[in-house]
Amino acid sequence: MSEKVLEGKVGLVFGVANKRSIAWAIAQAWHEAGAKLIFNYQGERVKENVEELAATFGDDVSLAPCDVSNDEEISSFFDFVRTKTDRVDMMLHSVAFAPKESLSEPFVSTSREAFRVAHDISAYSLIALARETAPLMTEGGSILAMTYYGSVKVIPNYNVMGVAKAALESSTRYLAYDLGKQNIRVNCISAGPTNTLAARGIAGFGGMLSHVKERAPLPWTGDSSALAGTGVYLASPASQFVTGQVLYVDGGYEILGM
């Protein structure tokens, strides 16, 4: 495969918090493949981190705030995007959140509010961002979201986030159906346990990671760089007829029965 498969492409990246973020691993790979990127950041708390990371790409990057639970921020983020480019080719959704107690207490105690917040930020946001991005994808495009196996199997403590990931994966299929006519593809990467800030919010995450490291057919490292190549593949023409899919990048753990 040519090294610059995304030369001349423009990408939106949602979900960089720090250098361990899955979004950062995919953004680096998109950048190395030749893409120009526009980043969001969630509030002032992470602004500096994202600024510093984005600056490593030189002048060809820009960023703006966007809390995906806020329609006005989504709208002003896309106003900003339209000042930078009149075309977008790919969009990465690498954003999730659930209140901390819902990732440790028994699932049956999930509150209405925790359920709402988890689904709003982790699943509905894909629909809202796709709706804004699609009109900019004038030459077709690729939308990519991050999911986890806890959507289809019970992973202790993953709880309401598993239910939200099921909604995210289903939304991916419905969006793929709607947007296919515009030659926009929508897919998920289901990542194996990866050592990031969000992951450390799940009670017992260390145990999840070592379980997969011990059992997966391939040696799983738990490092976000494992997701980078698939991020490029799903953004590139090599995957031009792939849409509505959940692609497992987990060292093969998903195939196991025991």
Ligand X SMILES: NC(=O)c1ccc[n+]([C@@H]2O[C@H](COP(=O)([O-])OP(=O)(O)OC[C@H]3O[C@@H](n4cnc5c(N)ncnc54)[C@H](O)[C@@H]3O)[C@@H](O)[C@H]2O)c1
Has 148 been annotated as catalytic? yes
Catalytic residue among 41, 124, 149, 158: 158
Least distance CB 197 / ligand X (angstroms): 4
- SS3 of the chain: the string is CCCCCCCCCEEEEECCCCCCCHHHHHHHHHHHCCCEEEEEECCHHHHHHHHHHHHCCCCCEEEEECCCCCHHHHHHHHHHHHHHCCCCCEEEECCCCCCHHHHCCCHHHCCHHHHHHHHHHHHHHHHHHHHHHHHHCECEEEEEEEECHHHCCCCCCCHHHHHHHHHHHHHHHHHHHHHHHHCEEEEEEEECCCCCHHHHCCCCHHHHHHHHHHHCCCCCCCCHHHHHHHHHHHHCHHHCCCCCCEEEECCCHHHCCC
Q: Which is nearer to ligand X, 141 or 193 (CB)?
A: 193
Q: Are 221 and 255 in contact, with CB atoms under 8 Å apart?
A: no
Give the whole-angstrom CA distance, residue 229 versus residue 26.
8
Residue with smaller CB distance to ligand X, 196 or 239: 196
Cβ atoms of 214 and 208 within 8 Å: the answer is: no
Q: Which is nearer to ligand X, 4 or 200 (CB)?
A: 200
Binding of ligand X at residue 96 (CB under 6 A)? Answer: yes
Please report whether residue 172 would count as binding ligand X according to CB under 6 A.
no
Scanning 29-37, 88-96, 176-184, 237-245 for contacts with ligand X by CB under 6 A, the matching segment is 88-96
Q: Is 21 in the site for ligand X (CB under 6 A)?
A: yes
Residue from 30, 39, 97, 248 that binds ligand X (CB under 6 A)? 97
Site string for ligand X, 139-168 (x = CB under 6 A): -------xxx--------------------
User: Per CB under 6 A, which region of 62-70, 75-83, 108-116, 180-188 contacts ligand X?
Assistant: 62-70
Q: How many CA atoms are closer than 13 Å to the CA of 109, on its beta-carbon side?
A: 9
What lies within 8 Å, CB to CB, of 73 at 6+ separation is 65, 66, 67
Nearer of residues 42 and 133 to ligand X, judged by Cβ: 42
Q: How far is the CB of 161 from ligand X (least distance, A)?
A: 7
**Is residue 158 among the annotated active site residues?**
yes
Pick one of 11, 141, 162, 193: the residue that binds ligand X (CB under 6 A): 193
Closer Cβ to ligand X, 87 or 116, answer by number: 116
Interaction between residue 133 and ligand X (CB under 6 A):
no
Is the separation of the CB atoms in 61 and 39 below 8 Å?
yes
The active-site residue out of 148, 149, 233, 248 is: 148
**Selected range binding ligand X among 53-61, 169-177, 194-202, 230-238, rule: CB under 6 A:** 194-202
Question: Which residue's entry shows tokens 């973020």?
Answer: 21
Residue 194 found at the interface with ligand X (CB under 6 A): yes
Of positions 5, 13, 29, 94, contacts ligand X by CB under 6 A = 94
List interacting residues with ligand X (CB under 6 A). Answer: 15-17, 21-23, 42, 46, 67-69, 94-97, 121, 146-148, 191, 193-194, 196-199
Q: Which residues are catalytic?
A: 148, 158
